[in-house]
């Protein structure tokens, strides 16, 4: 089998595999074609890939590989050139990209979306969402610190004392927990909110205060993801968050619900009451943002408050982010590479079955099927 590694589009600096991951795949008796200059933004040259055993090819040839890898899917025009027997493995957010899923169904190709890997213990080594969220949470705090006019830690100087910054983290998933840990390392006073009761212990273990809103809907059946809450709960949640937000110098927004618009947690009225010089980093910008004023991929200023919408911070740390992504990818590919490097789609494996979105004109993932096609199973 031949595996093709695509160069990412403009603006994306990561690459789906580094040479060390290519070497691991070649040990499984597959051939790897790498698009020329695929690793340039991650500080990896074509020569580095060649030394790992890969063949450097032009994009047209890579798109003919048996299995095509990337972070982003190929362009619309390129998709039309794919054959039904080809396999595509990338991240295309199927729960919020129904048109693309329907296109894959029409083309008949087998598609795997790595953001659809189940949240199970066995799948942790393949969990790209968690890996990239770690990068995003860390970088969000550094970005906030660089934009803030205040120190993060307390300072005792001859010129007097400087009080520490107050950081509020909304959402205590992987990104939120990493943001808490990073802000605490920098010396800030940190508070955090999450609808999941299980997050309280983790937040407190990192030295932050947990903001608790009573009456949250149980998330036990949601596979580790947050769930949509009642209107009554949302009202109580927003009132409590606004109270804490007004006193914060930094707010890191990470709250998202798969397949839905990001919950609105910071209103424009709250922003108006924040201290000038405060900074909001909204990692949920691409799905609407947790702040009412957020604009995706833009930095705006409202009454002296900087609101930075960026849902792709991992791209700003391309070397380590690519390393983590590549290791997750190799661990997944080992499940579908069989003897002598042949493709082996074992549908009895729950990870393979649930990560696969489309196969031979049908939806595989039960999660995708239930959310995108609830009344008309495909």
* Nearest Cα to Cα of residue 145 among 174, 184, 173: 184
Strand partners, 33: 4, 55
Residues 254 and 151: their CA atoms lie apart, in Å, by: 23
The token duo for 19 is 């040479």
Chain region(s) in the chain for CATH 3.40.50.720: 2-126+319-372, 133-311
Q: Which of 111, 130, 237, 286 is catalytic?
A: 130
Our answer to whether residue 48 is catalytic in this structure is: no
Q: Which helix (H) or strand (E) holds 321?
A: helix 318-336
Beta carbons of 101 and 372 less than 8 angstroms apart: yes
Could you read off the pLDDT of 215-256 as tens digits, one per residue? 766 555 455 555 566 788 888 888 899 999 999 999 999 998
Dihedral pair phi/psi, residue 206, rounded to 5°: -95, 5
Beta carbons of 113 and 92 less than 8 angstroms apart: yes
Residue whose token pair is 């400087």: 162
Residues 368 and 101: their CA atoms lie apart, in Å, by: 9
What DSSP string runs through 240-271? HHHHHHTT-SEEEE----TTSPPPP-B-HHHH
* Nearest Cα to Cα of residue 259 among 237, 285, 287: 287
Our answer to whether residue 58 is catalytic in this structure is: no
Q: Which of 27, 37, 58, 124 is catalytic?
A: 124
Q: Which of 225, 233, 295, 320 is catalytic?
A: 225
Q: Which helix (H) or strand (E) holds 280?
A: strand 279-282
| Helix-, strand-, coil-residue percentages of the chain, each rounded to 5 | 40, 20, 45
CATH topology of domain 133-311: Rossmann fold (3.40.50)
Our answer to whether residue 225 is catalytic in this structure is: yes
Our answer to whether residue 233 is catalytic in this structure is: no
Pairing verdict, β 362-363 and 160-162: unpaired
Pairing verdict, β 31-35 and 160-162: unpaired
Q: Which of 86, 127, 256, 315 is catalytic?
A: 127
At residue 374, the pLDDT reads 84
Residues 365 and 62: their CA atoms lie apart, in Å, by: 27
Beta carbons of 22 and 54 less than 8 angstroms apart: yes
Residues 255 and 365: their CA atoms lie apart, in Å, by: 24
Residues 178 and 134: their CA atoms lie apart, in Å, by: 6
At residue 218, the pLDDT reads 55
Residues 20 and 80: their CA atoms lie apart, in Å, by: 32
Residues 195 and 213: their CA atoms lie apart, in Å, by: 7
Residues 6+ apart with CB under 8 A from 93: 113, 115
Q: Which of 119, 230, 360, 370 is catalytic?
A: 119
CATH superfamily to which 2-126+319-372 belongs: NAD(P)-binding Rossmann-like Domain (3.40.50.720)
Our answer to whether residue 119 is catalytic in this structure is: yes
* Nearest Cα to Cα of residue 184 among 230, 157, 155, 153: 153
At residue 195, the pLDDT reads 86
Residues of the chain under the 50 pLDDT cut: 221
pTM of the model: 0.91
At residue 260, the pLDDT reads 86
Residues 181 and 250: their CA atoms lie apart, in Å, by: 14
């Amino acid at each position: 089998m031949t595996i093709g590694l695509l160069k990412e589009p403009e603006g994306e600096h990561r690459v789906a595999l580094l040479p060390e991951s290519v070497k691991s795949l070649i040990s499984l008796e597959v051939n790897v074609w790498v698009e020329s200059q695929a690793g340039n933004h991650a500080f990896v040259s074509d020569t580095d890939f060649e030394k790992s055993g890969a063949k450097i090819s032009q994009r047209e040839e890579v798109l003919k590989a048996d299995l095509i890898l990337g972070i982003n899917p190929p362009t619309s025009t390129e998709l039309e050139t794919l054959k039904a027997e080809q396999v595509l493995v990338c991240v295309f957010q199927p729960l919020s990209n129904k048109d693309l899923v329907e296109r894959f169904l029409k083309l008949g190709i087998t598609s795997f979306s790595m953001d659809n890997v189940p949240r199970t213990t066995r799948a942790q080594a393949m969990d790209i969402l968690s890996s990239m969220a770690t990068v995003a949470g860390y970088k969000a705090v550094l970005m906030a610190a660089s934009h803030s006019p205040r120190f993060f830690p307390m300072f005792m100087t001859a010129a007097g004392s400087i009080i520490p910054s107050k950081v509020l983290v909304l959402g205590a998933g992987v990104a939120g927990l990493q943001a808490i840990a990073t802000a605490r390392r920098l010396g800030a006073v940190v508070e955090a909110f999450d609808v999941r009761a299980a997050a309280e212990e983790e937040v407190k273990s990192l030295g932050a205060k947990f903001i608790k809103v009573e009456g949250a809907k149980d998330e036990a059946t949601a596979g580790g993801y947050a769930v949509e809450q009642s209107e009554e709960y949302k009202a109580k949640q927003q009132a409590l968050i606004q109270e804490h937000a007004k006193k914060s110098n930094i707010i890191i927004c990470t709250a998202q619900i798969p397949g839905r618009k990001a919950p609105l947690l910071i209103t424009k009225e709250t922003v108006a009451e924040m201290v000038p010089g405060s900074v909001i980093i909204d990692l949920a910008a691409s799905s609407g943002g947790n702040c009412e004023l957020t604009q995706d991929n833009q930095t705006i200023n409202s009454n002296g408050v900087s609101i930075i919408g960026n849902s792709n911070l991992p791209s700003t740390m391309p070397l380590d982010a690519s390393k983590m992504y590549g290791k997750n990818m190799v661990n997944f590919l080992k499940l579908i590479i069989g003897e002598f490097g042949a493709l082996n789609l074992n549908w009895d494996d729950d990870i393979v079955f649930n990560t696969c979105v489309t196969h031979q004109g049908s939806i595989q993932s039960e999660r995708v099927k239930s959310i995108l096609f609830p009344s008309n199973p495909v």
